[in-house]
Structure 1
Amino acid sequence: MPWFVKIERGIIHKAAFDQHVPAHVAYVKDLIAQGHQARTGYWAERGGGMLLFQAASLAEAEAIVAADPLIQNGCVEYELHEWCIVVE
Structure 2
Amino acid sequence: MKYFAVFLPMLNEEKSKQYRGDHIAYLEEMDKKGKVYAKGRFTDGAGGLVIYIAETFPEVEELVKQDPYVKIGAREYEIHEWDMKVTEN
Query: What TM-score does the superposition give when structure 2 sets the normalisation length?
Result: 0.88
Distance 1:86 1:40 in 2: 17
* 3-state SS in 1 of match to 2:21: helix
- Residue in 2 aligned with 1:32? 31
Partner of 1:66: 65
* Contact 2:3 2:81 survives alignment (8 Å): yes
Count, aligned residues: 87
| Correspondence for 1:10 | 10
Q: TM-score, normalised by structure 1?
A: 0.89
Please give the root-mean-square deviation of Cα atoms over the aligned residues, in Å: 1.3
- Percent identity over the alignment? 28
Segments of structure 1 that go 5 or more residues without pairing to the other structure are none
The gaps in structure 2 that reach 5 residues or longer are none
Which residue identity is paired with 2:39?
T
